[in-house]
Structures are given as structure tokens and as C-alpha cells.
Structure 1
């Protein structure tokens, strides 16, 4: 019988985006067979959107929050405690603190690995025993020493647990709320409204695409760029802003197509969710998106290219539902591969 592992996940963020969802889902499936602890900041709610990982965590996952001494002090205590067989850090802040403690000789002897949710930085990941890359571009950019101790495990998407009837009712309700005309095509985009997501270029492309009057663009999310984007969309009542939503990916049932205009996507989780929902997609050929759509190059557009994005929107307006092979992106497969990676070190 395989022994139970004592796993410590470390995350130091105040929001709920793709990385936080990844960790909530991974820790939940690991907690079925292992003892899982999650070290978080004292406060984890996004002050702008209210998004908070706390509401998405499995009750079987033990939560430890940094105290008055701060995250570094709490992390040092956990690393030296002897309570964990493996430490798994996520994103730069938690990873950099673990690396600093190891360089200072204050981390004990527990092995430390990290998932690269973004790019590699030696300051954050240089002392880690192993790295999990979620896309091939990350592995290719690693220093040779780190490349030898890495593995490639893509992110995943979870099939909807709702019934066909529920999704049909949700579609009808949301399209009524958005005032979508009968037969209207709804193209969606979702994500934190920051410069990297390039929603501004999407709005420009929409204005030039000349789509049918009943076609709508729904932008799902919030962030510091939202006010500027709303100004850019003035005069285009067919562009709708939903704000931050907690019902993704169920909300995808209300859409007919999906677009990802980002300058760069480390992986492209929202793209996977759209594909899981059976939507035709158009996405920038940058980052992990090129892995996901390697077998569907017709769905890719050149990064930052207005003309290419215009053509992509026109194609989406004419496209019908599409069934994608999602078997490579199942959480059970990923969790088994992560566990096997842990056991290299403990």
C-alpha cells in the first residue's frame, strides 16, 4: 500500500484567479489520500473584486494563515517543523520566500518543489529541488540544471456536474438578462482586466469586424483596466461587461463562441473551460495556448495582430458548436503525475 504523504502547499496572494482555482482543486483531490496543509496569507480576499480562495477550499485541507510576524516567518516555521514530507510552492512570492530561507539555511531539510504558473525566475525558483511546468514554453526557457529536474504536467479542466437541463435553463436566463435577441450569437471573453489580457485590442477588432446586428460580445471579469475598456467600448451597446462573476465556468453555457486575445497566456485555463463547454474558440498563439491548440492551428491568431483578430471574430460568428478531445486535461491524471513527481524527493 502506498504511504500517505504530508503535503504543504504555499501560496501568498490576495485574489481568486487561475492559480488559486488550480490549487483549490489540486489540494482537494490530494486530500482524499494524503494529509494536505495550505499556508496562506493572513488575508486572501481581493480588495477590488472580493475574490477569495477561502470559499473554494475542501474541508479536508488544513488551512494555516500567516500571523502577525508575516508570511516569511510562518513559512520558516512550517519548513522547520518536521510536519511535512514535501513542500509545494505556487507563484513568485511564496516561492521566493522559500528560496530565501533555503539560501539562508533556515528551511530545514524538507524537499521543496514549485509549479511554474508563470515564467521562471532564478530568484524565486533557483533553490527548488524540482519544478512542475504547465506548458512546454516554460521548460524550454529553464536553465539546464533546472531542466533536468522538471516535469511537464498541464493544467486541467473539470467536466460540468450540472445537467443538460440546468445548463439550458442557465443559458436562457443569462441571455434574457443580457437582452440577447432571438438567434443572436454571443462571443465571450473572460479574465482579469489587466493590460496583458489585451481586451483593448479585442474591442478594436470588434469595431472593425462588422458583425451582424444580433451578435454580442460579453466581457466577463474585472480589474484595473475595466474603466478604460468601458470608455473604449462607448458607442458599442453590443459590448457587454458582466463584472466579476463567481459562476464560471457554468456561465459559458450562455455563450456560442469564445475568444482569448491575451498578449501571453502562461497556460490558458479559461480556454480549456471554453473547450470543455463545446465552444468554438479563437486564441492568441502565445504561451500555453499553442500546446492546447496544437491540433487546431486554424483557431490561432497572431499575437497583437488586429487584422488577425478581426478575421478570428468573423470566423467565430459563423462557427457552430465543437466537440474537443479533453482526455489529456483531466485532474485525476494530473494528480497522479504530481504525486509521482513528489515521490522522487521523499
Structure 2
């Protein structure tokens, strides 16, 4: 049996979906798989695959991929690849066509975003019907996927994402990092990491900080929004401008900073006293488990998949549209350093137990092998 897989992501964007293949490649290789890739020429996905040690097969466009079917099939035959794993719904037409032409292929699709409407038309039945397995990254998304797709339940598998917790456990020069983030000495440092796009909750969080200042006027705190400020970094630039204007309008200019993109998030999280994830509808919540892995107490939105990751033993929840609830949770954690330490330690342990990258990839490989029962084509 061939332990070879091609990851397909024909996206010109850059977010968690696009980062996923290169994130798991080292662990796939460690677990004995030879990894190949297919990406758009010149895309950040192609660059990330190359940086992970995989020189991807490339096409000029999604339409160009359909025209290059013969070339792609030839590549698969030469390298004796039987397993294809794609990550964008728009790529399913390509992989479904490939399987139609080469029935021995085994197809997998990770539904990263959380489907919002039924997909049971003739095209969807054809394309999704070719899949050996559709991976849902949380129970919340699996429930939606069970309703949306004309697939039997056993072909829709919940598979939580995972991370390597090791980099998040490294303690750096915390005082220097806090200074970089603009925190005055002795201040409680509150952070919100993530892409600056509508739906991530930064706007409601800013209103919560105003209420925190009213509720606890003696509390010495500083807050930082961590994330790229430009479209090339995955952010919505008009929304960034709105947030900057809102900080000024709310009188928070001296207490709220924008860090911009940071490539050192694992060690940066260690410098925070409280991490907030107020996203309105996360399909999973990768930033949540990153903060947990860093041993930080997390306040997350009580929506989407976040409640699956956080409970009272490891963090706190608040309604994503209720700034008063966020202010209340912030005040409670600010007043109790021992509770913050207890929650952070429990959160770190939970990630190692339930959300490790090695466990995620092991389950992925099990699915690949379980489905790969056909004989390779010559």
C-alpha cells in the first residue's frame, strides 16, 4: 500500500484554510507519508508548501486546473499517488473529475468554514458523492454538514484540528515582550489575537473595555489587538480603519494598541495575562487552543465551536454580542490571579491531551488508510 497523499488547495487567499496543508506536512512525513501538493502558481499556498519541503505541482488558475487534468493524472500515475485531500469546495469539481477518470483514487475534503446552506443539487450530489470522507472540524460544523450534504453520517467525520504545543510552552523575556506591546509596568495585559475582519468581534470587545474601565476604575490594564493590518496579511483594511477610528472615538487611544502582524505568536501569547476570542461563529477556534497551549486563561464567545474547546475548568464564555458580559468576565479574572493561573494550567494540559497535532494527523492517516483499499493504477 502506498503511503502517499496530494494536498490540493487552489486558493489565492491566505488564512487558516490555506495554512493548513503546510502546517501538517512535517507531522505527516514524521508518521511515514510522502506528501505532494497542487496549488496556484505564485500563490502563498504554493510558497508555504515549498517552505515545508514540498515542491508543488502548479496551475495558473482554477479553470486552468480543469484544462490540465491529463497533466495532473500523469503526475499522479508517475508518483503512484492514490489519496487526494482538498480544502476548498471549489476544488471539488477538479478532484471529482479526476476520480471519474481514475476510479481507484480516494478523495478527502476538509470542510474548514462551516457550510451555511444545503448542498444537495445534482452537481453537489455528484461531486461530494465521490468523497471517501468529509472531515468536519467541530461537532458544531458536523451537525450543519449532516443537514447540508446528501452523504451518509459515517462519511462525515468530526476531526478536531490540532497544534504542536511545544513552541507555546517556551518562556521568553516576558518583560521585553510586554514592553513591545506597549504595556506599562505592572499593568494587566489583555490580548485579542486573530485576523482583523468582521465577525471576529474586535468591535464588541472594544466596547467591553470601556465598560471594564467604568466597572473597575482602579484596575491598571492595557490591551492589544494582535493581527496583520493589511489585506496581504489576511485582514480587511476598511474594517481595520473602522477599529482604529473606534479606539479613538471611545477614548481608548492610551490603553489599546495594534501590534500588527507578528510571526512570534506562540511566545507572544505567554506575555498576555488574559486572552479574548470574541468571534461570532468560529468553525473551530485554532487561536483558542493556541492560547490554551500557552497556558493563558481564555474568554471565548459562547457561539460556534468555541464552547466545545472551553469549559469552566479551562476558561470562561461570554455572549459574542454582549459587551457587558465580556466586561464582567474580564473583571472577574483581573481580580483573581490565582484563578487565572489555575485556568491556564488546566488549559495547557487539555491541549496536550485533546488537541495535539500528532493526534490529529494520526486520525487523518487512519482515515486515509481505511479508505485506501483499491489497487493502484499503472
Q: How does 1:258-269 map to 2 (within 5 A)?
A: 258-269=275-286
Q: TM-score if structure 2 supplies the norm length?
A: 0.79
The runs of 5 or more residues in structure 1 that have no matched partner are 46-51
Cα gap change, 1:127 to 1:163, in 2 (>3 Å): closer
Q: Which has the higher helix share?
A: 2
CA contact (8 A) 1:154 1:329 kept: yes
What CA distance in whole angstroms lies between the structure 2 residues aligned with 1:191 and 1:76? 40
CA deviation map 1:75-95 (0-9, x unaligned) = 674356434211101133323
What CA distance in whole angstroms lies between the structure 2 residues aligned with 1:266 and 1:78? 31
The runs of 5 or more residues in structure 2 that have no matched partner are 229-234, 373-378
Q: CA deviation at 1:58?
A: 5.5
**2:229 aligned with 1:197, yes or no?**
no
The Cα RMSD (Å) is 2.6
CA deviation map 1:105-138 (0-9, x unaligned) = 4565412111111123634745422111110012
User: Of 278, 288, 302, which aligns to 2:295?
Assistant: 278
Q: TM-score if structure 1 supplies the norm length?
A: 0.86
User: Of 127, 150, 154, which aligns to 1:148?
Assistant: 154
Equivalent residue number for residue 98 of structure 1: 95
Q: How does 1:1-346 map to 2 (within 5 A)?
A: 3-32=1-30, 33-45=32-44, 54-55=47-48, 59-67=52-60, 70-74=64-68, 77-79=71-73, 81-82=76-77, 83-99=80-96, 101=97, 105=100, 109-120=104-115, 122=119, 123=124, 125=128, 127-141=130-144, 142=146, 143=149, 145-161=151-167, 164=170, 167-169=171-173, 171-210=174-213, 211=216, 212=218, 214-222=220-228, 223-224=235-236, 225-234=239-248, 235-236=251-252, 237-294=254-311, 296=313, 299-319=316-336, 320-321=340-341, 322-323=344-345, 324=347, 325-326=350-351, 327-346=353-372
CA deviation map 1:281-310 (0-9, x unaligned) = 100122221211146486111232222222
Cα gap change, 1:174 to 1:298, in 2 (>3 Å): closer
CA contact (8 A) 2:300 2:318 kept: yes
CA contact (8 A) 2:303 2:320 kept: yes
Tell me the secondary structure at the aligned position of residue 168 of structure 1.
coil
Q: CA deviation at 1:188?
A: 0.7
What CA distance in whole angstroms lies between the structure 1 residues aligned with 2:108 and 2:242? 39
Which structure: larger Rg? 2
Tell me the secondary structure at the aligned position of residue 196 of structure 1.
coil
Q: List structure 1 runs of 4+ shifted beyond 6 angstroms.
A: none
What CA distance in whole angstroms lies between the structure 2 residues aligned with 1:240 and 1:155? 30
Q: CA deviation at 1:336?
A: 1.3
What CA distance in whole angstroms lies between the structure 2 residues aligned with 1:111 and 1:56? 21
Tell me the secondary structure at the aligned position of residue 151 of structure 1.
strand
